[in-house]
Every structure is written in C-alpha cells, then in structure tokens.
Amino acid sequence: MRRCLVQETGTLLQQSGVKQVNSVFFGGGTPSLALPHTLEAVLEVISQHALLPADAEVTLEANPSSTETEKLREFKAAGINRLSLGVQAFNPSDLQLLGRDHSVEDSLRALQEGRTLFPGRVSVDLIFGRPRQTVESWQGELKQALSVCDDHVSLYQLTLERGTALFRQVEKKQQTVPDPDTMAELYACARGTLQDAGFRQYEVSNFARNGAESSHNLSYWRGKQYIGVGPGAHGRFASRGVGQTVREARIQTLEPQQWMGQVERLGHATVKRTSLSQLDILEEILMLGLRTTEGLTDERWQQFSGGASLHDIFGTSEAVQGFINAGLLEFSHSVLKVTPSGLAVLDSLVPDLLLATQEFCRGRCDGDFTGLHQTSGRAE
C-alpha cells in the first residue's frame, strides 16, 4: 500500500508538472490508521517532484480513538502539522447512534493531546441534525465543544447514507431526524454560538478564529488545482506534455485491490479522465466560490472566463437581481458573494446562476464554450 501511494503520488505529480505543492491533506476514511512512516514516505516523494515549503499545511484526518491518539506524536514527527478530529458529538448515545467507536472521553483526550502537539491547528468535526436533536440540547453540546476545542470547527448536517443502520432505522420510522425547519434552527443556532465565541464562518460548514482557516480546503473553493491520490480519489488539474493544458477531472479506481494492481502496472490508477470545458470550470468555481464568505472575485472569474467579467454574465440576470433585492446575494466591488442569510439557502441560488452562466456561454458560441465533455476514458 505504501509503495503504491508513493508511486501514484509521483506519477500524478509528474503528469501535472506542478512546481509547488502548497498543502497536503491525508483524509478520506481513516488515514490515521496508516503507519506514520507511510505518510512520511508520501511527503518525501512530493518533495522530490515539487517544492513543498516547510510551512506548507499538512493535515491528518483522524478519529479520536485511543489507538490513534497514541500515534499522534509519531505523525507529528512524520511531518503532519494540522489535525482534523472526527469528534462528531459530545453525547454518548448519539455517538453510538452514529456508529462511532470512540467515547466522549476519547474525544477529550485526543483533543488535549492534539492541542499540545499542534497548538492552534486542531479542527473539530461536529454533526448536527441527529435523531431527536433539539435546539436546547444542541446548544448545550456546542457550549461543551467550545470549552475544549481549538480554533477550527467544521459543522456538518447529518446525511443519511444508504446502507447504514441509521438509514434503515429512519426508513422504518424507528428513528426520526429533525424536520427541515428544525434543521435550519440547529444550523442558525450553531452559527450564532460560534460567532459569539469569536469564530468567523468562512465557508458553509467551516468556522475559524485566530487565522486558523484550512488553506487546503480554501484551495478547493478558490478553484485551485488539486491532485487526488489513492483509491477513489478525485482530482482537478491540467496534465502537462500530453499536448494539452486543459483542466481535467480525474477519478482514481475505487476498489483498493484493483487500485493497487493498476498502480503497480501503470504507475497510477486513474480510471476516468474528463476534460473540463470552459463552462464546466466556470460552473464549478461559481458553485464553490459562493460557498465561501469571501465570495467569488472578478479576478478569479476572468482567469477562466476568457475575459468576460462577472458583471457581463450576471449583471442582466433577473434571477440575480431578485436574489440581491431579497438580501440573499451581494454584488459589489467586483465580488459576487452571498449574504449570511443567502448562505443558508445557497443550493436554491446556485441553479439560477448556473443557468445564467450556461446562457452566456451559449451566446458566445465559441468552440471551447460548447460544454461538451470529452471523456478520454481509461488512461494509458
């Protein structure tokens, strides 16, 4: 596994031709179960192919279980400098309901250890919208979280995944999740509580204080390139040397055994490469940019729009004007961004903005505006 990760990292870095890697994120599943040595080897191969600055953000996603906590010191030695802890809840019965192996005490211990090792650089994941959760109980839990957390909180609404025990229970009506209005209240309550504690919301589900924003995650939302390594990883980058500099969407083989086999044979296991049209890219940076409180700048937009400004595209849209009038969207100083109330209903804003973008691109009729996906299939 280690050999394959190292191999694929090297191959993809080479294909991308990037000169500098600004951040690394070991996430998805439980990378903290891996040996610290493995991560060290990956970081090393990155340094061989590109510049990895000494202060580059290197995050590890970890569960607060005791075995993983014990290894944190070693991970730090391996090069990790930021920790994202999947605490999820400060309530024993909910942890059980969510199918978590750790206890509240585990979380407290992991947080203490993490904050000692990575002061100011520990993030806590919390899940809301749990069965029978009320605003009152949530408020209490947030208070507890704030008393022990560091400077970063990620806040996720529970999504019921098919195949989980909880999904089945809800389906059979043995459990009920909060209704949409309560869900909205839970979210609003968390936003308010975190703000009162000095946190600034910088994205739909991310809050930071003292400059502890995750630069890695910000890169996604700012439309930067990223390389996905490992089974099922997604990437967005332009390959160099294949006669094109078009940005592509890449997906690596999902099944670990197959993934390893392919990496061993081909050096990487990209299972799907899709060239992104200008429209695809614009749609993506629009959707992602609006998730942030900094919004979408005209400068970034024009990098991909071939010179058309945000105003050219959204200035005449009736829907956009409606959103602005309703206090959901702001468009000033060449920045398009949602207001705090707009952020909560972003998914209802984006479709209309996508339509405006599509309409504009169709009007241009340029070859590269067709929005056609050229799938080159399995990479050689």
Q: How far is CA 19 from CA 16, 60, 145, 232, 364, in A?
A: 9, 23, 40, 25, 34
Residue 267 one-letter amino acid:
G
| C-alpha distances in Å from residue 245, one per residue of 18, 37, 248 | 12, 34, 9
Does residue number 287 form part of the binding site for another protein (CB under 8 A)? yes
CA dihedral 114, 164, 2, 8 (to 10 degrees): -110
Residue 234 makes contact with another protein by CB under 8 A: yes
Choose, by CB under 8 A, the member of 355, 362, 373, 374 that binds another protein. 355
Nearer CB in complex with another protein: 69/252: 252
Sequential DSSP letters for 204-226: TTEEESTT---HHHHHHHTT--B
330 scored as a contact of another protein (CB under 8 A)? no
Binders of another protein among residues 182 to 201 (CB under 8 A) are 183-185, 187-188
Asked whether the beta carbons of 10 and 48 are under 8 A apart, the reply is yes
The residue from 57, 68, 113, 283 that contacts another protein (CB under 8 A) is 283
| Residue with Cβ nearer another protein (72 or 338) | 338
Least distance in angstroms from the C-beta of 109 to another protein: 26
The stretch among 36-44, 101-109, 137-145, 285-293 that binds another protein (CB under 8 A) is: 285-293
Stretch that binds another protein, among 98-106, 139-147, 176-184, 194-202 (CB under 8 A): 176-184
| Contact with another protein (CB under 8 A) among 215, 352, 370, 379 | 352
- Tell how far CA 375 is from the center of its chain: 25
Contacts of 321 (CB under 8 A, 6+ apart): none
Whether the CB-CB separation of 282 and 270 falls below 8 Å is answered with no
Work out which of 73, 326, 363, 373 binds another protein, going by CB under 8 A: 326
Output 140 or 351, the one with its CB closest to another protein.
351
Backbone angles phi, psi at 242, to 5 degrees: -100, 15
Provide the residue type at 310 as one letter: L
Binding segment (CB under 8 A) for another protein, from list 32-40, 116-124, 155-163, 301-309: 155-163
Residue 57 contacts residue 82 (beta carbons within 8 Å): yes
**Shortest distance, position 146 Cβ to another protein, whole Å:** 19
Among 146, 288, 335, 379, binds another protein (CB under 8 A): 288
Number of other residues whose CB lies within 10 A of the CB of residue 233: 21
C-beta neighbour count of 29 within 10 angstroms: 14
Distance CA 28, CA 235 (A): 14
Q: Which of 47, 137, 144, 157 binds another protein (CB under 8 A)?
A: 157
Q: Which is nearer to another protein, 94 or 113 (CB)?
A: 94
Indicate left, alpha or beta for 243 from its phi (over 0: left) and psi (-120 to 50: alpha).
Answer: left
Q: How far is CA 94 from the centre of its chain?
A: 24
- Choosing from 34, 204, 320, 336, the residue that interacts with another protein (CB under 8 A) is 204
Alpha-carbon gap, residue 90 to 167, rounded angstroms: 21
Which range in 10-18, 44-52, 108-116, 231-239 contacts another protein by CB under 8 A? 231-239
**Measured from the CB atom, is 66 or 303 closer to another protein?**
303
Rounded CA separation 11/56 (Å):
21
Per-residue mark of binding to another protein, 102-121 (x: CB under 8 A): --------------------
Give the nearest distance from C-beta 70 to another protein in angstroms: 27
What residue ranges bind another protein (CB under 8 A)?
A: 27-28, 155-157, 159, 180-181, 183-185, 187-188, 204-205, 217, 220-221, 226, 228, 232-236, 249, 251, 283-284, 287-288, 291, 322, 326, 328, 343-352, 354-355, 358
